[in-house]
Amino acid sequence: MSGSEQPEISVVMGVRDGEREVGATLASLFAQREVALEVVVVDDGSRDGTPELLARTAAAEPRLRVLRQEPSGLTAALAHGCAAARAPLVARHDCGDLSHPDRLARQKAALDAHPGVVFVSCWTLCTGPAGEPLYRVTGRAEPDRPLPFPLPLPGAPQIGPASHGSVLFRRASYEAAGGYRREFALGQDWDLWYRLAETGQFLMVGAPLYLRQLLPESLTFAAHDLQVRFGRLAREAARSRSAGESDAVAVQAAAALSARFARERAARRRRAPALGCYHLGAVLRDRGDARARGYLRAAARARPFDPRAWVRWAQAVLVPRPAREPEGFSSREASELLALLARAGERG
C-alpha cells in the first residue's frame, strides 16, 4: 500500500524513549499479510534517538505516519493517534511488542464475519527481555465465538482482551463510545472496553498472535497498585451507566488518581527495575529456568534491605526446581513467535 491509498486498518501506537524497541515492533507490523494498513506512531516527547529513527523509517516506508506531542502520557497519545487514523478499523500495538504476520488479517476476518462484534483480541504470549518464556494470557473468554461483555461479578472470571496491544476495534464504535478518556492515565484500556461493549459484542481469536515483552524497567511493575485502582474505577463507571446513572463520580476519581500518578511517576520509574527483576525472577524460578538467578540477584542488589529477593535468589541457587514449560505456552508456538522476534530484531 502506498501512502496515498486508503488503508483497511490503522495501527495506533504511542512511544516515549523507545529507541531500542520500536524498530523490531515496526518490522513486525510491516510484515503483516493480506491487509492494507497504516501505522500511526505518536511520539510522546521522546528525548532519546526515537524521533530520528522514526523519521528515517518514515522516509523509506510510506505506510508509517509519525505524529509528535509534548510529553502527555499514553492515554493522550492514543487519543491523538486514533483521531488521526484514516481506516475504518483501528488496531492497538505497544512499543516493544510483536504481532504474528497473520494477526491483523485474522482479526479483520473475525470482524467481517460477525457484524455485531465491535472489538476483538487474541491470545498473548509474554516473554522476558531476552525471549524467556513466561506465560500465555488467553483473557478467559471462549475463543472464536461472539460474546456479550458482562460486567465482572466478584469472584467471577474476567471475560475480555488478553492485552491492550492485542485489540482491533471498529473506529465508528470507538467514536460512538467516546474514545480514550484522558482522566484514565492508566487502566484506559478497560475503561474503553467497557464502553465499547455497550455498542456491540466481543470476540477472542483463539490463537497466540501477539507477543508481549515484559521489561524490568516497565511501569507495569511499579504502578501495579494504581492499575488495579483504575480498573476498579472503570468497572464502577460501567456499573453506573448500566444502571442509567452518570459515571461522573468514578471519572472524577480517576482524574484525581491520574494527578497522583503524575506526581509519583518519576519515583515509581526509579523503583521499577528492582520490582520488574523480582517479578521476572520469581516466574522463571517457578519454571525451573536458571536465568531466574540473574534477575533475582539484580533485584536484591537494587533493594538490599528487601529480604524477599534475597530469599528467592537463595532458593533459586540452593533448591532449583525441575525445568518445565509455562502452562499453555507450547514449544511450537513459542518457537514461531520467538523466531519472529529474532528476525524482526535483525531488521530493526
Flag the least confident range among 11-15, 30-34, 136-140, 161-165: 136-140
CB 337 within 8 A of CB 210: no
- pLDDT score, position 68: 96
**C-alpha grid cell for residue 272?**
521499577
The mean per-residue pLDDT over the stretch 325-331 comes to 66
The model's confidence at residue 142, banded by pLDDT at 50, 70 and 90, is: confident
Counting other chains too, the contacts that 335-338 makes at CB distance below 8 Å and 24 or more residues apart are: 336/100, 337/98, 337/100, 337/125, 337/208, 337/211, 338/127, 338/131, 338/211
Greater confidence (335 vs 29) lies with 29
Give the best-scoring range by mean pLDDT among 17-31, 72-86, 134-148. 72-86
Please, what is the average pLDDT of the chain? 89
More confident residue, 5 or 221: 221
Residues 232-248 pLDDT 10s: 999 999 999 999 999 99
Query: Does the pLDDT value for residue 39 go beyond 70?
Result: yes
Q: How confident is the model at residue 140 (pLDDT cuts 50, 70, 90)?
A: confident
User: Under CATH, what is the fold of the domain 9-215+333-347?
Assistant: Spore Coat Polysaccharide Biosynthesis Protein SpsA; Chain A (3.90.550)
Which has more pLDDT, 317 or 106? 106
Query: What pLDDT is recorded for position 335?
Result: 63
% residues pLDDT > 70 (the chain): 90
Taking CA 85 as the corner, what is the angle to CA 234 and CA 116, rounded to the nearest 5 degrees?
60
pLDDT at 219: 87
Q: Of the candidates 140, 159, 141, which has an alpha carbon nearest to the alpha carbon of residue 149?
A: 159
Model confidence at 348: pLDDT above 50: no
pLDDT of residue 332: 63
> What DSSP designation does 219 have?
H
**Is pLDDT above 80 for 163?**
yes
Quickly tell me which residue has 502452562 as its cell. Answer: 327
Give the mean model confidence (pLDDT) for residues 123-136.
89
Please write the tens of the pLDDT for every residue from 248-299.
999 999 999 999 999 999 999 999 999 999 999 999 998 889 999 999 999 9
Reported as a pLDDT band with limits 50, 70 and 90, residue 38 is: very high
Q: Is the pLDDT of residue 211 over 60?
A: yes
Predicted TM-score (pTM) of this structure: 0.90
For residue 317, the model assigns a pLDDT of 87
In the predicted model, is pLDDT for residue 99 greater than 80? yes
Q: Residues 64-85: what's their mean pLDDT?
A: 96
Q: Would you say residue 156 has pLDDT above 50?
A: no
Per-residue pLDDT at 141: 80
Nearest Cα to Cα of residue 192 among 176, 179, 175? 179
122 near 106, Cβ under 8 Å?
Answer: yes
Residue 1 pLDDT > 70, yes or no?
no
**Range 303-328 average pLDDT:** 83
What average pLDDT does the segment 184-211 reach?
A: 94
How far, rounded to the nearest angstrom, does the alpha carbon of residue 207 sit from its chain's CA centroid? 16
Spatial contact of 192 and 110, defined as CB atoms under 8 Å apart: no
Residue 5 predicted with pLDDT over 90: no
The reported pLDDT for the residue numbered 293 is 93
Output the pLDDT for position 331.
54
Which DSSP string corresponds to 263-321? HHHHHHHHHHHHHHHHHHHHHHHHTT-TTHHHHHHHHHHHSTT-HHHHHHHHHHHHSPP
User: What value does the mean pLDDT take over residues 81-86?
Assistant: 97
In the chain, where are the structural domains located? Answer: 9-215+333-347, 227-327
CA distance linking residue 57 with residue 267, whole number of Å: 33
From CA 142, how far away is CA 205, in angstroms rounded?
9
Residue 130's pLDDT is 86
